[in-house]
Amino acid sequence: MGLLYQIFIDPFMQMGQAPDLLVQTLWEGLVGGVLYALIALGFVLIFKASGVFNFAQGIMMVFAALTLVGLYEKGVPAPLALLLAIGVMYLLALGVERVVLRPLVNQPDIMLFMATFGLTYILIGAGQLVFGGDPKEMPVTALGLPKGAIDLKILGGLVSLQKIDIAAAIIASIMVAGLAVFFQKTRIGRALRAVADDHQAALSVGISLNQIWVIVWFTAGIVALATGIMWGARSDVSFALQVISLKALPVLILGGFTSVPGAIVGGLIIGIGEKLGEFYWGPLVGGGIESWLAYAIALAFLLFKPEGLFGEKIIERI
Task: List residues near another protein by CB under 8 A.
Answer: 18, 21, 24-25, 28, 32, 124, 128, 132-135, 137, 149, 160, 162, 231, 234-236, 238-244, 246-247, 274-275, 278-279, 282-283, 286-288, 290-291
CB closer to another protein, 178 vs 287: 287
DSSP E strand boundaries for the chain: 149-152, 159-162
CB closer to another protein, 160 vs 173: 160
CB closer to another protein, 123 vs 216: 123
Using CA atoms, how far apart are residues 123 and 99, in angstroms rounded to an integer? 14
Q: ∠ CA 298-301-307 to the nearest 5 degrees?
A: 95
Distance in Å, CB of 75 to another protein, minimum: 15
Q: ∠ CA 10-12-15 to the nearest 5 degrees?
A: 115
Contact 183, 260 (CB under 8 A): yes
Q: Is 163 exposed, middle or buried (0-12, 13-18, 19+ CB in 10 A)?
A: middle
Distance in Å, CB of 295 to another protein, minimum: 11
CB closer to another protein, 189 vs 282: 282
Distance in Å, CB of 292 to another protein, minimum: 9
Distance in Å, CB of 133 to another protein, minimum: 3
Q: Is 66 exposed, middle or buried (0-12, 13-18, 19+ CB in 10 A)?
A: buried
CB closer to another protein, 21 vs 152: 21
Q: Which helix (H) or strand (E) holds 317?
A: none
Distance in Å, CB of 120 to another protein, minimum: 13
